[in-house]
Amino acid sequence: MSLRINATAPDFEAETTQGKIKFHDWIGDGWAILFSHPKDFTPVCTTELGYMAGLKPEFDRRNTKIIGLSVDPVDNHAKWAKDIEETQGHAVTYPMIGDPELKVAKAYDMLPETEGDSSEGRTAADNATVRSVFVIGPDKKIKAMLTYPMSTGRNFDEVLRLLESCQLTAKHQVATPVNWKQGEDVIIVPAVSDEVAKERFPGGWKAPKPYLRIVPQPK
């Protein structure tokens, strides 16, 4: 069964470049970003993991752990990390999961069930669906999902923006409008009545339509 937003993120045990983890325990009481890539030692993935390494302090400030995954073994990750640092200018200091038996990839519906049970002999093209992002909350629920084709590098600035939006919703019951950026106005979600909104937003709101209640971003 495919995963959906608000489903519980599958728990798993796996080897990583920083030792064995149990995923839910590793997340702890904060947020997490699980992101996967098709194959080590490939060009687009090299740029992605390097950029994510540079962004790690931003995720740290948002109480969010990041973890990478591919169906390559952990030893390959460790060797590839040297190339990433050399070419992208950032050392990969977050853990990278080795998933050669495809267990995590299948649990997160990154690969068809018919794709076998081992990464042996697989090429990047075989792993075309494995360029996914999962935003996971402290409650271990999936808050957002993104999947890109093998040929398109992801915009991890957008992943950071997406995380910020999800965290605002979780804390304040507000939604973010199109192209929203940190610090801009937000929208009171329809589930919050006007009576409750008056308590939460005593400064009032702009409402060009009754269902469109706009307020400054809460702190």
Asked if residue 2 is part of any domain, the answer here is: no
Find the Cα–Cα–Cα–Cα dihedral 114, 159, 123, 112, rounded to 10°. 0
- Paired with 174 in beta bridges are 188
Quote the pLDDT of residue 151.
Answer: 86
- Name the DSSP class of 82: H
Please check the confidence at residue 1 and state whether its pLDDT lies above 90: no
**Is residue 129 domain-shared with residue 200, that is, in the same domain?**
no
Where in the sequence is the domain holding 202, given as residue range(s)? Answer: 173-215
Q: Is residue 1 part of a domain?
A: no
Question: Quick check: is 167 in a domain?
Answer: no
166 assigned to active site? no
Instruction: Find the catalytic residue in 45, 105, 142, 166.
Output: 45
Q: Which residues pair with 19 in a beta bridge?
A: 16
Pull the structure tokens for residue 216. 């400054």
pTM over 0.85: yes
Q: Confirm whether 163 is domain-assigned.
A: no
Residue 154: Cβ within 10 Å count: 20
CATH code for position 95: 3.40.30.10
Per-residue model confidence as pLDDT tens digits over 101-133: 989 998 998 875 555 666 676 665 666 567 899
Mean pLDDT lowest among 83-87, 115-119, 172-176: 115-119
Structural domains in the chain (count): 2
Q: Is the pLDDT of residue 11 over 60?
A: yes
Closest CA to 34 of 129, 128, 146: 146
CA angle 12, 16, 21 (to 5 degrees): 40
- Do 105 and 139 belong together in one domain? yes
Predicted confidence (pLDDT) per residue in 146-173, tens digit: 998 888 999 999 999 999 999 999 999 9
Q: pLDDT: is 112 or 179 the higher one?
A: 179
